[in-house]
Amino acid sequence: MDRVSSFDEPLKKLLGGATAKVMAEHLDLHTVGDLLHHYPRRYEERGKLTALADLPLDEHVTVVAQVADARILMFNNGRGKRLEVTLTDGSGRLQLVFFGHGVHKPHKELLPGRQAMFAGKVSVFNRKMQLAHPTYQLLDASDADEATEAVDAFAGRLLPIYPACKQLDSWRIAKAVDAVLPSAQDAVDPLPASLREGRGFTPLPEALLKVHRPQTKADVEDAKARLKWDEAFVLQVALARRRYADTQLPAVARRPVADGLLDAFDAKLPFTLTEGQEKVSKEIFDDLATEHPMHRLLQGEVGSGKTMVALRAMLTVVDAGGQAAMLAPTEVLAQQHHRSITEMMGELAEGGMLGGSDRGTKVVLLTGSMGMAARRQALLDLVTGEAGIVIGTHALIEDKVQFHDLGLVVVDEQHRFGVEQRDALRSKGKQPPHLLVMTATPIPRTVAMTVFGDLETSVLDQLPAGRSPIASHVVPAKDKPHFLARAWERVREEVENGHQAYVVCPRIGDDAEEADGKKEKAKKKAADEDPEKRPPLAVLEIADELRKGALAGLTVEVLHGRMHPDEKDDVMRRFAAGDVDVLVATTVIEVGVNVPNATAMVIMDADRFGVSQLHQLRGRVGRGSAPGLCLLVSEAHEASPARARLSAVAATLDGFELSRIDLEQRREGDVLGQAQSGVRSSLRMLTVIDDEEVIAAAREEAVAIVAADPELEHLPELRTVLAALLDKDREEYLDKG
């Protein structure tokens, strides 16, 4: 069998159709190679059992423990039977329950003193942790061959516990791995020999054997060190090749011009730029002055002045005879950017108009909902070069839109845009334009090196003077309803002091959703039986309740994505002008909405939002001189991971610290939702948060190798592995810049 093909062998050939189907559907494992890269999550030792005291709620777990007690209980006047088994491991106790016909076999086998492996989902019943109907495998029985094998495997060795699913427990996965393990010999080694020997790494086939069937803890460490390196290195080579290819593209250098638009703009600024803004601007100006396209990621906390830095870059390009386009993810945000940029520029944004500056340029807005006449004029201004700056949504990407000379593309909140959209905009330049990507989601350095590894990174970490602190608190609405009543009183107090407030809900809610009466009844019934299942709170319902109840007498308006753009704009204008006291909205306000007089925010069902999203939302208050207040309302159970997340958000305003917490909780480093899907599916051993040194070292090696041999002609194995990693999806995913 040739070296690559045994890894490409479909699992159903070796494992049978039923097992292969479960692996494909529930674990995304399709080939022998996929299964060999499905590494154990941890290892059990005979003498060291899992701490039952530390079991996570609502997760599928595998534990090794001893039966302390087992008894059958009758219920329903003797018609129903329930077997309750108590497990112990020295650290704590765990209850198992089996019902009905399912009690006979475990009743015979799970005798006090017996040791076994159990797998199931952890739940709470009567305030006690329990597993209902777990699958189990005895570890010290001798009556069944299977159990004897288990004893042998268990007695002398570390027992691998695999990431499993309800349909397939860890020990069945272990059996499947045994069936494919001989193929580990055919693994193609991506590391160049000199690198492997220089760093003293275990050969790849040996690392795969050691990770799945270690004899000692040292075997596990050896294998992990090697497999982490492979992942980091292959990914960094892919990114280094992408960066190298970008440096080969031609671009028009856009150098600053003395006494131009930028100088005129700087001269009328009512404040001085922060040190950070100066430093980052210099990095950007240096990039713009080169003859290959800039690819830079600008990350900065909410309110750190990214828009100011981007605007100065756009003015530089206009000075140098080019045009700049800013792409925003929503119409609300595009309008907001257009408004704030024209305000900042004043008469400089009215080039060619009466009263405009002779050094000025036109700043146009282009969105899907504009009227025909305004749209036609905007398109004309772009093609003639009359407009130096355009701000818009994905409407900018349509074929009809032609530029006179597109020199710079600024993408706001880039992880909301597909690759094709960015490429379509880039192709509108005569030569590839420079690219500046902005994000207010703070990204730890390691993630920036992996997810945005093809972009150079600039960080704005100073807040401009005059920003106020924000106090954040969790409001446990279920345990302490009077806390929620107090929250609405606080909102009223803020309004009485002349300020305004936001209330954020996860859902819009409207007649279309309620029209189907049956569905609604079913939803209500489910919610009554299990409060966890109730639908998320909705903007329209909450706004209605507040107008009639807690905030009666205040001006309460709504804002959400299904409103007509003119309507949205009208509400935002009135809120910005102070005519609306409380704005009840969905996350359309998450990015970029700037109303300094808004000081309070109440986030309903806060546990239904991610950490970085909560941080973004909170950044909408405290933008003026008065302190901000953010209340995170939740019905989540006090001990749940959701509540732990909210407490973390309430405890710090440091976005970088929060993104680290977010990463640690998610482990895969899925900081940016789907933006990372390509990387996530290829990272199995590497945890982006813990392995900063590995990633940094791999990046250095990768850069050196690609500089010496861009096409990897002398490294055919590395090329083969790269081709397998960069299947179509991941190729597209990496194609950011």
Span 241-295, pLDDT tens digits: 888 887 888 889 999 888 889 999 999 888 888 888 999 999 999 999 999 889 8
pLDDT (0 to 100) of residue 732? 47
Q: Which of 205, 245, 119 is nearest to 170 (CA)?
A: 119
Task: In whole angstroms, give the CA distance from residue 318 to residue 324.
Answer: 7
**At 208, phi and psi to the nearest 5?**
-65, -40
Higher pLDDT, 352 or 31: 31
pLDDT (0 to 100) of residue 357? 59
Sheet with 470-476, edge to edge strand ranges: 470-476, 628-634, 598-603, 500-504, 582-585, 556-559
pLDDT (0 to 100) of residue 673? 36
Task: In whole angstroms, give the CA distance from residue 333 to residue 15.
Answer: 52
What does DSSP assign to residue 538?
Answer: B
Count of H-run helices and E-run strands, the chain:
29, 21
Kindly report which listed range (166-175, 229-238, 486-495) carries the lowest average pLDDT score: 166-175
Per residue in 722-736, pLDDT (tens digit) is 877 665 444 444 444
Q: Which of 108-112, 205-209, 420-424, 572-576 reaches the highest mean pLDDT?
A: 205-209
Average pLDDT over residues 382-401: 86
- What single string gives the DSSP state of each residue in 7-48? HHSBHHHHH-HHHHHHHHHHH---BHHHHHT---SEEEBTTB
Q: Are 568 and 332 in contact (CB under 8 A)?
A: yes
pLDDT (0 to 100) of residue 729? 45
Higher pLDDT, 27 or 579: 579
Per residue in 670-703, pLDDT (tens digit) is 433 333 333 434 566 666 656 778 888 898 899 9
Q: Are 161 and 62 in contact (CB under 8 A)?
A: yes
27-62 as b/e: b if 16+ CB within 10 A: bebebbbbbbbbbbeebbeeeebbebeebeeeebbb
- pLDDT above 70: residue 364: yes
C-alpha radius of gyration, the chain, whole number: 30
Higher pLDDT, 473 or 656: 473
The overall average pLDDT reported for the chain is 81
- pLDDT above 90: residue 398: no
247-270 as b/e: b if 16+ CB within 10 A: eeeebbebebeeeebbebbeeeee
Q: Which of 663, 671, 665, 670 is nearest to 689 (CA)?
A: 663
pLDDT (0 to 100) of residue 421? 63
pLDDT (0 to 100) of residue 439? 81
pLDDT (0 to 100) of residue 626? 85
Element (H, E) at 523: helix 517-529
Sorted by sequence, the CB contacts under 8 Å of residue 328 that are 6+ apart come out as: 334, 337, 391, 392, 393, 412, 413, 592
Q: Which of 302, 300, 271 is nearest to 621 (CA)?
A: 302
Task: In whole angstroms, give the CA distance from residue 171 to residue 32.
Answer: 17
| Partners of 47 in beta bridges | none
- pLDDT above 70: residue 132: yes
pLDDT (0 to 100) of residue 667? 46
Question: Coil, strand, or helix at residue 157?
Answer: coil
- Residue 148 pLDDT class (50, 70, 90 cuts): low
Q: Between vectors from CA 578 to CA 496 and to CA 412, what angle results, nearest 5°?
A: 125
- pLDDT above 70: residue 2: no
- pLDDT above 50: residue 422: yes
pLDDT (0 to 100) of residue 371? 86
- pLDDT above 80: residue 427: no
- pLDDT above 50: residue 63: yes
Half-sphere exposure of 389 (CA within 13 A, CB side): 29
- pLDDT above 70: residue 486: yes
Kindly report which listed range (4-13, 175-184, 216-225, 616-625) carries the lowest average pLDDT score: 4-13
- pLDDT above 50: residue 230: yes
Amino acid at 344: M
| Partners of 72 in beta bridges | 83
- Residue 529 pLDDT class (50, 70, 90 cuts): very low
pLDDT above 70 coverage of the chain, percent? 81
- pLDDT above 70: residue 530: no
- pLDDT above 90: residue 99: no
Instruction: Report helix angle 692-708 to 217-247, nearest 10.
Output: 50
pLDDT (0 to 100) of residue 531? 46
Average pLDDT over residues 184-199: 88
Per residue in 437-451, pLDDT (tens digit) is 888 776 776 677 776
Q: Which of 607, 554, 612, 629 is nearest to 584 (CA)?
A: 554
Average pLDDT over residues 372-381: 92
- Residue 666 pLDDT class (50, 70, 90 cuts): low
What does DSSP assign to residue 518?
Answer: H
Strand pairing report for 323-327 and 406-412: parallel
- Residue 358 pLDDT class (50, 70, 90 cuts): low
Kindly report which listed range (114-118, 240-244, 395-399) carries the lowest average pLDDT score: 395-399
CA 121, distance to chain mean position in Å, is: 25
Q: Are 641 and 56 in contact (CB under 8 A)?
A: yes
Per residue in 560-598, pLDDT (tens digit) is 888 888 888 889 889 989 999 999 998 877 655 678 899
Kindly report which listed range (120-129, 175-184, 624-633, 696-705) carries the lowest average pLDDT score: 120-129
- pLDDT above 70: residue 104: yes
| Partners of 468 in beta bridges | none
Average pLDDT over residues 490-517: 81
Per residue in 328-342, pLDDT (tens digit) is 888 878 888 898 899
- Residue 45 pLDDT class (50, 70, 90 cuts): low
Average pLDDT over residues 415-422: 55
Q: Which of 325-334, 403-412, 504-513 reaches the highest mean pLDDT?
A: 403-412
Q: Which of 391, 408, 412 is nearest to 297 (CA)?
A: 412
Higher pLDDT, 734 or 604: 604
